[in-house]
Amino acid sequence: MGSQKGFLSAIHSSYYNFIDKLGKYVPYILLAPTLVYMILFIGYPLVQGVKLAFFDEQGRFTTANLDYLLNSELSYFWDALKYTLILTGIIVPTQLLIALLLAFFFTSFRFKGRGVAIYVAVLPLTISDVAAGLIWYTMLTGNGFLNKLLINLGIISEPIQFFGWEYRNMEILAIVLAELWRSTAIVFVILFAGLQMVSQEYIEAAEVFGASTLQRLRHIVFPLILPSIQAALLIRTLFALQIFGVVWVLAGRDVPVLAGEAYYEQVSLHHSGVAALYALIIASISAILGAIYIKFFKAKYLEQ
The separation between CA 191 and the C-alpha centre of its own chain, rounded to angstroms, equals 14
Residue 61, SS3 per DSSP: strand
pLDDT (0 to 100) of residue 260: 94
Domain residues for the domain of 279 are 64-303
Residues 36 and 132 in one domain: no
Query: Residue 215 and residue 201: Cα distance in Å, rounded?
Result: 15
Query: Residue 172 and residue 88: Cα distance in Å, rounded?
Result: 11
Query: Residue 83 and residue 258: Cα distance in Å, rounded?
Result: 8
pLDDT (0 to 100) of residue 125: 87
pLDDT (0 to 100) of residue 245: 92
Q: Where is the domain boundary, 19, 37, 62?
A: 62
Residues 139 and 274 in one domain: yes
Q: What's the CATH code of the domain at 100?
A: 1.10.3720.10
pLDDT (0 to 100) of residue 278: 96
Q: Which residues of the chain have pLDDT under 70?
A: 1-23, 299-304
Residues 54 and 142 in one domain: no
* β-bridge mates for residue 61, sequence order: 55
Angle of helix 272-296 relative to helix 258-267, nearest 10 degrees?
160
The candidate with the shortest Cα–Cα distance to 133, out of 171, 99, 98, is 171
Query: Residue 129 and residue 246: Cα distance in Å, rounded?
Result: 5
pLDDT (0 to 100) of residue 16: 61
pLDDT (0 to 100) of residue 206: 83
